Amino acid sequence: MAFVPFDDRDGWIWMDGAFVPWREAKTHVLTHALHYGSSVFEGERMYAGEIFKLTEHTERLHRSANLLEFEIPFSVAEIDAACKETCERMGLDDCYVRPVAFRGPEQVSVSAFHNKTRIAIAVWEWPSYFDPETKRKGIRIEWAKWRRPDPQTAPSTAKAAGLYMICTMAKMAAEKRGYSDAMMLDWRGYIAEATGANVFFVQDGVLHTPRIDAILDGITRQTVIELARAKGIEVQVRDIRPEELAGFSECFVTGTAAEVTPVSEIGEYRFTPGDLSLGLMEDYGRLVRRQL
């Protein structure tokens, strides 16, 4: 499929309460968010005409903005409605949904008292992040050079654009070497997350996943924990040391984009996608399409 730049597409984008033609959805080069990272966003998917856990995403968008010390001038209900209307306006019922809120160009300095908050919603067709065959075999992940920051140095639990800078750097470095992604440690040296997805491990039928005190508590992560516990699978949320990976038999990552994706290797450690990983991958697929 030919690459189409995101600023040169047909359609509509919802901005600050109104629809504008896709190519006209612009902001100034002196926008505060561009210079100081004052932006938060969400990644959502619509399946068969319904945005999965839409309100949970919108509530997190508001929480993220509050952590960055700004207020979104639209309520959760108003943003939910705008997300649905944008999908309808674009004629899509299976798509990716991207709300983003950011400080505008009124003031360009570290201080932002005079900056207005802008918000936009764009949607587009986006198939599975990884093709089905790759997912069943498991993706290859390398170790990231960068670590997730101490929550006392950055708003680690916000879905803030600035926190993804090191994720982009780590993922691009991994892809240059033939890997699909990179696994990041936290500032203490424990397993944290992939560049855009949470991680789970399997040992003797028990799921293990990192605590979320310094990483994003993914909505897909929460959903998978609920699915696993509903099936009687024990889930341990704890600190995980890198050397423990030698004792895990399966691994998978979770996220709106990745959904549930098995992993075959992380650095020097190898895993085999098995019944637990593949079963949860299938359960999640049925759930989001309201077949479970």
Catalytic residues: 159
SS (H, E, C) 207-250: EEECCCCCCCCCHHHHHHHHHHHHCCCCEEECCCCHHHHHHCCE
Distance CA 275, CA 253 (A): 15
Two tokens at 184? Answer: 């990041």
- 248 — alpha (psi -120 to 50), left (phi > 0) or beta? beta
**Residues 33, 161: contact at Cβ < 8 Å?**
yes
Q: Are strands 139-148 and 259-266 parallel, antiparallel or unpaired?
A: parallel
Number of Cβ atoms within 10 Å of the Cβ of 132: 10
211 φ/ψ angles, rounded to the nearest 5 degrees: -65, 160
